[in-house]
Structure 1
């Protein structure tokens, strides 16, 4: 069988051939294709001439596929099926519908929300649903498409994409820093009220974030402190002069710039944890999830964009 050019007439002839071979009737194929019986017969004849082989044995009131016809039917059916499946997948992968995302509360409020309009404007047909929680998602029982975790990236059975690293340092109001002699004197923390995020990451202890920072810098900490179940509450308490909070740099840039918070000593510590986008492995190729990941990576790479 010589290889023809896949011109329009050849492709339409292949489609016509496949229908006729399924029905084993030019008449029934014509009905399905909304053509005349003679038009179907003409297309099949032109295809046979283009291929240089006979595809049907035409008998009175009966069609029989030749061996070449049987081979071609199998190949065409397989490939036309692949094309149909791909077209269906393309249609279902349009950036519309629902995107359900779980995000830690303070990350959502302090980092994502100020930037979220850009994503929603880019994909107006996509319905974005944001839910906040510190706990990990059970992707087997909960209907989230993806989640952002602050953790170590070890999430068995899930697809994980590292988004960005983090660093942290103590912050408070200017008035509190002056009143407690904190500027340039981290040892003065011993006389301060510490403000703790009681759930800085999944399964963390109430004072783990402060303790980690203190160990890295060799600074003793007081026993007195207040705990909050969200980092943004601890930071708001620091703004109001209640005490000193640990601030993640991705959360406090605006407050430092405006002076609502100050860092009385420059002792940032790289966090042992990072931000990750996590989803079921089969969702990693979802256009909605991929679009969200691409947008996050774009913003992280160029915060001014």
Structure 2
């Protein structure tokens, strides 16, 4: 028996034949393939016409494989199985090796690191290399697969996928709030030491985060205070009673839960920026980047 050219129609027919031969029923094969019984019968009839041999003996309540059908089933099952295993192996190769990711320092420390074990456990063949920095990546000269940015989502020549929004509000210790009478008195911030993240996002000024919050609340604040190059350092300073830090809600859940920090007045402001996964355009369909994005989306959904 000589096979014809393996066109799309023949390959589709061979797959349909294999399912029908396994089920020994066109009706059950139709259920597996989400087709009608007549569509399955039509596909197999076309395949028989293409091959020039009869594959099934049709009886009123069942079908029986002919000798030619039995021979073809053995060959197709083995080769389709080999193809399936090869595809699985190719996908496994795509999800192995070095995986280079950049993320903002505080996001990496307070949000990503407590969760990253589940990603490593899920993709043990990927060797994660996480690097932290506040500035943007030069994807043309640096070997990063993707980066997490806190920004506006528009980066020339790059692909970006939004992860989540952010909101922010002032936090301090309970003792500091009492000392400066801050509970429900945001106007008393003028007497406080303001703790600034000097690099809350790329190209930001050292007072930008506090001033953005104050403007949205109609409050005038001085631009003086202590500055740090990471948000988590400003939060640590607040925990030590040095002053009031601008807390991002994604970062302060643990401190609020164990009361190391408090919210003296519930006046959150939605940040003008959000978190994005960013990569080169030619990497947006990369299995490893998509796996990382899907994992991040699942983690965010679990928080929500």
Using the size of structure 2 for normalisation, the TM-score is 0.71
1:140-184 per-position Cα deviation (integer Å, ceiling 9, x unaligned): 000000000000011011110000000000000111000000001
Corresponding residue number in structure 1 for 2:263: 263
**Aligned mates of 1:285, 1:129 — CA distance in 2:** 20
Corresponding residue number in structure 1 for 2:298: 298
**Aligned mates of 1:264, 1:88 — CA distance in 2:** 54
Unpaired runs of 5+ in structure 1?
12-49, 53-82
Within a 5 Å distance, the mapping from 1:69-218 to structure 2 comes to: 90=90, 93-218=93-218
Structure 1: 4+ residue segments shifted above 6 A: none
Q: CA deviation at 1:302?
A: 1.6
Q: CA deviation at 1:91?
A: 5.5
RMSD across aligned positions (CA): 2.4
**Aligned mates of 2:195, 2:161 — CA distance in 1:** 31
Q: CA deviation at 1:303?
A: 2.1
Residues 170 and 247, structure 1, Cα contact 8 Å, conserved in 2: yes
**Aligned mates of 1:169, 1:91 — CA distance in 2:** 44
Corresponding residue number in structure 1 for 2:282: 282
Unpaired runs of 5+ in structure 2?
12-49, 53-82
SS of 1:251's partner is: coil
Between 137-146 and 213-222, report the one with greater CA deviation.
213-222
Residues 239 and 261, structure 1, Cα contact 8 Å, conserved in 2: yes
User: What is the number of equivalent residue pairs in this alignment?
Assistant: 230
Residues 207 and 223, structure 2, Cα contact 8 Å, conserved in 1: no
1:225-261 per-position Cα deviation (integer Å, ceiling 9, x unaligned): 0000000000000000000000000000110111000
Larger radius of gyration between Structure 1 and Structure 2: 1
Residues 192 and 222, structure 1, Cα contact 8 Å, conserved in 2: no
**Aligned mates of 2:156, 2:93 — CA distance in 1:** 27
**Aligned mates of 2:299, 2:91 — CA distance in 1:** 28
Using the size of structure 1 for normalisation, the TM-score is 0.71
SS of 1:154's partner is: coil
SS of 1:250's partner is: coil
Residues 191 and 222, structure 1, Cα contact 8 Å, conserved in 2: no
**Aligned mates of 2:162, 2:290 — CA distance in 1:** 14
Corresponding residue number in structure 1 for 2:45: none
Structure 2 vs 1, CA of residues 181 and 285 (structure 1 numbering), >3 Å: closer, same or farther?
A: same
Corresponding residue number in structure 1 for 2:242: 242
Q: CA deviation at 1:51?
A: 6.4
Residues 93 and 286, structure 1, Cα contact 8 Å, conserved in 2: no
